[in-house]
Amino acid sequence: MSAAPTVYDVADKAGVSIATVSRVYRSPQSVREPTRDRVLEAARSLGYVPSGNARGLASRTTGVLGLCFPDYADPDVDAEGAGPDGDGDDDGAVVMLYSDQIIRGMERAARRHGYALLIAASLEGGPESLVAQVAGRVDGFAVLSQTVPTSDLEVIAQRLPIVMLAGPREIDHLDHIEVANADGVRELTRHLVEDHGLRRLAFVGGQESSPDARARFRGFQEACRETGLPVPSAPDLRAEPMTQAEGSRAAEALLDREGPAPEAMLFANDQMAVGALHALERRGVRVPEDIAVTGFDGIPLGRVVRPSLTTVRQPMRRLGEEAVELLVRRLGDRTLEPASLMLPVTVVRRGSCGCGPAGA
């Protein structure tokens, strides 16, 4: 007997992200009708049943791990999952975003250990609502940094293992995983300056409350200081949310500023960088001949845009896998000393900085 279809199968067939499939069933009014219809048709053709088993698992007191994170929807990315006729025939893996990759890594590791995964991926109703969806129905859960108030986490941590994902360590006695955000952007910036001779650099950051965005800008500042460039006190622009549309607007704004245009635009994530590539193409600006463009994350979409996107690849799936490993370890022994992991990142040199599509 073949295995039952999963949310990943539906996402792949419909050409959308995993989070989009979740939203179709959780809050269908939040998804555009063509995308919603495409997801439902894919689910019907596969025989996917989304709710019954999931609710059964969620009601158990053991055997379930949870994941809490904001819903990083990007309608522009979801739209790119459709084929040329809007039929979703393209490879859905292309539109996987940061959160999708973490989910996939965490789900696979949970399955290896015999756990199911319960996802709360919306801040509708506030962070308290998010905690209520998960905390009473799981054995332990991973929480993206600054998604849930520290005071709530302190209470929940008295009875459940919690792993904090990304950002600086907020609570000393909780297990914690982050990636080397500052190191990655510092290395990338030095590459643009030292290898390509670029001097006029513009950095587009995320919301000031995001610890990852702050760390990435700090890496940019460090590289500027090390290479003798002026050290800015703040990003040239900030974007919230960090979507393709915001990246496109940021690129337009940077082009329209008085004075010489930047020689490179560094974006705090790949989604914004992809939006910037589209905007620059519309304006007749050549990348990388006129302006280099870089991102951060390493989402699959960055490989297929033209020119392919130079970025800092973070180990998103491994982030999810390590979260499960720490939760399982903590469930086995609550007296262990708290762990704090720093996962390395990799600068991927591609065409958008002038290194060529193969990253030469």
Residue 197 lies in a domain: yes
pLDDT tens readout for residues 90-138: 444 544 577 888 999 999 999 999 899 988 765 555 555 566 566 668 8
| Domain shared by 186 and 68, yes or no | no
| Domain shared by 214 and 119, yes or no | no
How many of the other CB atoms lie within 10 Å of CB of 47?
10
What percent of the chain is modeled with pLDDT above 70? 81
Which stretches of 27-144 are DSSP H helices? 33-46, 52-58, 75-80, 98-112, 127-134
Residue 103 lies in a domain: yes
How many of the other CB atoms lie within 10 Å of CB of 80?
18
State the pLDDT at residue 72: 56
pLDDT tens readout for residues 145-204: 777 777 778 878 877 899 999 877 778 899 999 999 999 999 999 999 999 999 999 999
| Domain shared by 188 and 156, yes or no | no
| Domain shared by 156 and 91, yes or no | yes
How many of the other CB atoms lie within 10 Å of CB of 150?
10
- Please give the residue range of the domain that contains residue 91: 61-160
Residue 294 lies in a domain: yes
Residue 170 lies in a domain: no
Residue 19 lies in a domain: no
| Domain shared by 310 and 206, yes or no | yes
Residue 171 lies in a domain: no
pLDDT tens readout for residues 209-250: 888 999 999 999 999 999 999 999 999 999 988 899 999 999
Residue 216 lies in a domain: yes
| Domain shared by 68 and 149, yes or no | yes
Q: Report d(CA 16, CA 78) in Å as an integer.
A: 5
**All residues at 6 or more sequence positions from 339 whose CB lies less than 8 Å from its CB, including other chains:** 175, 176, 326, 329
| Domain shared by 146 and 212, yes or no | no
Checking if the pLDDT of 49 tops 70, the result is no
| Domain shared by 193 and 286, yes or no | yes
| Domain shared by 310 and 219, yes or no | yes
How many separate domains does the chain show? 2
Which residue among 105, 126, 160 closes a domain?
160
Q: What is the CATH number of the domain that holds 224?
A: 3.40.50.2300
| Domain shared by 86 and 128, yes or no | yes
| Domain shared by 236 and 197, yes or no | yes
pLDDT tens readout for residues 257-295: 999 999 999 999 999 999 999 999 999 999 999 999 999
| Domain shared by 121 and 79, yes or no | yes
Q: Report d(CA 83, CA 105) in Å as an integer.
A: 26
Strands 292-294 and 340-343: unpaired
